[in-house]
Amino acid sequence: MPLVHSLDELVHLQKKILEDRRADISAHSIEGLGREKFAAPALRADQELDAPRGKEIRVVLRNCNLIDPESLDDYIGEEGYQALATVLSSMSPEEVIEIISKSGLRGRGGACFPTGRKWQLTRNSAGSPKYIICNADEGDPGAFMNRRVLEGDPHSVLEGMAIGAYAIGASRGFVYCRAEYPIAVRTLNLAIQQARAYGLLGENVLNSGFAFDVEVRMGAGAFVCGEETALIASIEGRRGEPRPRPPFPAVTGLWGKPTCINNVETFANVPQIIMTGADWFAGMGTEKSKGTKTFALAGDVNHTGLIEVPLGITLREIVYDVGEGIKKKKELKAIQTGGPMGGCLPASMVDLPVDYESLMAAGSIMGSGGMIVMDEDTCMVDIARFFMEFIQEESCGKCTPCRVGTHSMLEILTRICRGEGVDGDIAKLERLSKLTRTHSLCGLGQGAPNPVDSTLKHFREEYEAHIYRKECPAKVCRELIRYEIIAETCNGCTVCAKNCPIGAIAGERRKLHVIDQETCVRCGICIQTCNFGAILALTGDQTAPVMAQSQDPI
């Protein structure tokens, strides 16, 4: 591998790579067309990156599926490491921080802190050595934004880290990556080795006198280690638990030294900002939310997968233009943004702009980029229970408000979904939510009440139906539904009885069948297999009164 000493040598290498590529295409492709797609082998078909649709703008994902992630030459052929060479040859650290600040780039990991300001704080902090960390501990269920970048374009992250290290005065960096991402870890380590061999990492980067190297540290899967102080503790070999702030990591971080932490997407934006300019990046998005954002679009939408759109786009545009609408032509009910600690927004807010301020004002968050679309058949109480179950399980348990608060809220939500809710449960949830949010130590506990608060705000009638009428309007909560066979429609074909996994359906051929309500476990297989629409899902006790909520405290 050639050792690169300067920007001129890097540009010369790029030209040679492009010439060799053109010659290879001419020799092996009859049509003389472009490159093949490179997708990480562990990705399922629905996770592979399609061509961008009308509303998409690819910045972070610009190279994914277009270059070989295991080839540094491919990355250099796409102007890779030219931003780093430009910075080292003609820019001071202060000028780098200024252009990042001017671009309006904010942290893409969830906290949304201005990147340039964080870099400046770290640079100004007394203490040496300084460290830079890439947070690749992507723990949100169904989210794979960071994974896709690490597996598809790892050098963009390394180049962004090197530029950040130069700006803050660091000589050592870490990528904290989930052990559940083995391909990302392998690809990263290979990229680091290649960059060292080319002189793009190491003691004398591009013969500039700047020293910087990176190593990968694997996390053990604790969701709370996505919080920066817990992440630092894990790298240091301690239990991954948050600590009080201040002091912030920019002042006292890894091994007590000034430390800058940004996530994968944030670093992947940096080279493009340096090469194309702050005004170009700031020209996308809104006044306070600049650039693009990647989202893992999931749920009841026709086109799921990874997308990248400009900030300020509306939820409607994401769901109907990029996601191509709701599956089976059903009605949109809610959209959950921000991962487990995000909020559920009703269909009436579908024209809400997707930016940091708008989502927060609506009771949700941007988070790292999870977005779940839910149709009319979704039970919002069960959704709140699902996310609270995840949060409660992932709480580190260090602080009492989070440990006890999430457990108590989950207990109440579980009872409500089982039809065991009582008058006063909603008031208790609201009280617990306030206490947990106000007194928890870290962002996990502070954001834990969001699913409960947002569903109570926008779907309160569903809670009341579960508690007072013992009814699940969406017919999702098993303990609140029952299946019955309609005599006028059943022709005794026996299909339902044959498919019932526990034998709860009895009846002779060509005669009315009956479901034993005591034996039935409400799995729904019978209603799915009946070809004549003879089975109905019923819910609730229509005679139970809807009572006023008690305001009794916990």
Instruction: Identify the pLDDT of residue 16.
Output: 83
DSSP E strand stretches across 332-446: 332-337, 343-346, 370-375
* pLDDT band (50, 70, 90) for residue 546: very low
Angle at 102 between CA 101 and CA 105, to 5 degrees: 60
Q: What is the pLDDT of residue 324?
A: 94
Q: The tokens 């191509």 sit on which residue?
A: 324
Whether residue 105 contacts residue 266, with contact meaning beta carbons closer than 8 Å, is answered with yes
pLDDT band at residue 551 using 50, 70 and 90 as cut-offs: very low
Q: How far is CA 522 from CA 225, 472, 483, in A?
A: 38, 13, 7
Judge whether 320 lies within some domain.
Answer: no
pLDDT in tens, 493-509: 999 999 999 999 999 99
Q: What is the mean pLDDT of the chain?
A: 90
Residue 45 has pLDDT above 80, yes or no: no
In a domain, 147, yes or no: yes
pLDDT mean over 250-257: 97
Locate 129 and state its tokens. Answer: 């050595």
Read off the CATH number of the domain in which 519 is found.
3.30.70.20
User: From the CB of residue 239, how many other CB atoms can be counted at a distance below 10 Å?
Assistant: 11
3-state secondary structure of 332: strand
Q: Distance between the two ends of the chain, CA-based, in angstroms? A: 67
In a domain, 357, yes or no: no
Q: 378 pLDDT exceeds 70?
A: yes
Query: Please, which residues have CB within 8 angstroms of residue 273's CB and are 6 or more apart in sequence?
Result: 99, 100, 103, 105, 280, 281
- Count CB-CB contacts under 10 A for residue 164: 27
Tell which of 264, 282, 300 closes a domain: 282
Take residue 36 and report the two structure tokens written for it.
């093949």
Task: Please give the average per-residue pLDDT across 51-62, as a whole number.
Answer: 85
pLDDT beyond 80 at 51: no
d(CA 206, CA 198): 9
- Percentage of the chain beyond pLDDT 70 is 91
Q: Is the pLDDT of residue 406 over 60?
A: yes
pLDDT at 547 over 70: no
Residue 481 lies in a domain: no
Q: Is residue 191 part of a domain?
A: yes
Kind and range of the H or E element at 261?
A: strand 259-263
The closest of 317, 320, 379, 395 to 344, measured between CA atoms, is 379
Q: Which amino acid is at 454?
A: S
Residues 490 and 527 sit within 8 Å (Cβ to Cβ): no
Q: What is the pLDDT of residue 543?
A: 38
Residue 179 inside a domain? The answer is yes
Alpha carbon distance 130, 174 (integer Å) = 12
Per-residue pLDDT of 194-244, as tens digits, reads 999 999 999 999 999 999 999 999 998 888 999 999 999 999 999 999 999
Instruction: Give the integer Cα–Cα distance in Å for 91 and 98.
Output: 11
Q: Band of the pLDDT at 553, cuts 50, 70, 90?
A: very low
pLDDT above 90 (res 32): no
The whole-angstrom separation of Cα 290 and Cα 48 is: 26
pLDDT of residue 114: 96
Overall average pLDDT of the 455-463 stretch: 97
21: confidence class by pLDDT, cuts 50, 70, 90: low
Instruction: Count the helix, strand and coil residues of the chain and give each as a percent rounded to the nearest 5.
Output: 45, 15, 40
Provide the domain limits for residue 200: 7-34+67-282
Q: What is the domain-level CATH number for residue 114?
A: 3.40.50.11540
Q: Which of 244, 266, 282 is the last residue of a domain?
A: 282
pLDDT of residue 209: 93
Residue 197 lies in a domain: yes
As for how many domains the chain has, the answer is 2
- Final residue before a domain boundary, out of 248, 263, 282: 282
Per the domain annotation, does 513 fall within a domain?
yes
Cβ neighbours for 305, distance < 8 A, ≥ 6 positions apart: 46, 47, 48, 49, 50, 296, 297
Predicted confidence (pLDDT) at residue 549 exceeds the cutoff of 50: no
38, 59, 293, 305, 490 from 371: Cα distances, Å? 25, 19, 12, 10, 41
Omega cis (within 30) before 246: yes
Summarised one tens digit per residue, pLDDT across range 263-313 is 999 999 999 999 999 999 999 999 999 999 999 999 999 999 999 999 999
Tell me the C-alpha distance between 402 and 495, whole Å: 49
